[in-house]
Amino acid sequence: MEFRDLKAQYQRYKVDIDTAVAQVMRSGIFIAGPEVKTLEQRLAEYVGVRHCITCANGTKAMTLLMMAWDIGPGDAVFVPDFTFFSTGEIVAFRGATPIFIDVEWETFNMDPQKLDKSIQNVIDEGVLKPKVIIPVDLFGLPANFPRILKIAKKYNLKVMEDAAQGFGGSIDGKKAGSFGDAATTSFFPAKPLGCYGDGGAIFTDDDTLAVLLRSLKVHGKGEDKYDNVRIGVNSRLDTIQAAILNVKLTAFMEHELEDVNRVYRMYNERLKETVLTPIIPEGYESSFAQYTIKLKNKEQRDLLQASHKSAGIPSMIYYPKPMHKQQAFIENQCNENCFEVTNALCNTVLSLPMHPYLTEGDIEQVVENIRRNLK
In terms of phi and psi (left: phi > 0; alpha: psi -120 to 50; beta: otherwise), the region of 56 is alpha
Inter-CA distances, 145 with 149, 182, 202, 222, 233, Å: 6, 13, 18, 35, 30
Give the containing element (helix H, strand E) for 16. Answer: helix 14-27
Render each residue's pLDDT in the chain as its tens digit; 375 residues. Answer: 999 999 999 999 999 999 999 999 999 999 999 999 999 999 999 999 999 999 999 999 999 999 999 999 999 999 999 999 999 999 999 999 999 999 999 999 999 999 999 999 999 999 999 999 999 999 999 999 999 999 999 999 999 999 999 999 999 999 999 999 999 999 999 999 999 999 999 999 999 999 999 999 999 999 988 999 999 999 999 999 999 999 999 999 999 999 999 999 999 999 999 999 999 999 999 999 999 999 999 999 999 999 999 999 999 999 999 999 999 998 887 888 899 999 999 999 999 999 999 999 999 999 999 999 998
Going along the chain from its start, the domains and CATH numbers come out as 6-101+108-247 (3.40.640.10), 254-374 (3.90.1150.10)
Please provide residue 215's backbone torsions phi and psi, each rounded to the nearest 5 degrees.
-75, -50
- C-alpha–C-alpha distance, residues 352 and 362, integer Å: 11
Q: Of 107, 96, 169, 166, which Cα lies nearest the Cα of 133?
A: 96
77, 134 in Cβ contact below 8 A?
Answer: yes
